[in-house]
């Protein structure tokens, strides 16, 4: 008969990192880190793993006549990795 397995839960944190321009592809590259932690029955961390990722946001509508503040708002609305506090930058 199987022994009772320890109940486990997963906690996931996403940390935004560097935001940079990719001039060759007309895109913004958002670097971020995902930290996944498996928790034991009492909430104690058992296994933690970190993975660095990046997301490319292609700016298809960007041209010399673009409304940059409006484009920036659209990007922030669509990409949860970029916090609204980054808009003035």
pLDDT per residue over 37-87, tens digit each?
Answer: 998 888 888 888 999 999 999 998 888 899 999 999 999 998 999 989 888
Contact 51, 44 (CB under 8 A): no
pTM summary value: 0.74
Task: For residue range 30-47, list pLDDT tens digits in order.
Answer: 999 999 999 888 888 888
Pick the more confident residue, 53 or 9.
53
Please name which of 73, 71, 50 lies closest in space to residue 61, comparing C-alpha atoms: 71
Average pLDDT over residues 7-27: 89
Adjacent-strand bridge partners of 54? 31
């Amino acid at each position: 008969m199987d022994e009772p397995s320890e109940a486990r839960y997963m906690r996931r944190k996403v940390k935004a990192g560097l935001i940079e321009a990719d001039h060759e592809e007309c895109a913004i590259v958002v670097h971020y880190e995902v930290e996944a932690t498996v928790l034991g029955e009492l909430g104690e961390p058992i296994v933690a793993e970190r993975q660095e990722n990046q997301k490319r946001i292609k700016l298809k509508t960007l041209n010399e006549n673009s409304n940059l503040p409006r484009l920036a708002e659209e990007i922030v609305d669509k990409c949860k990795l970029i916090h609204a506090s980054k808009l003035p930058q």
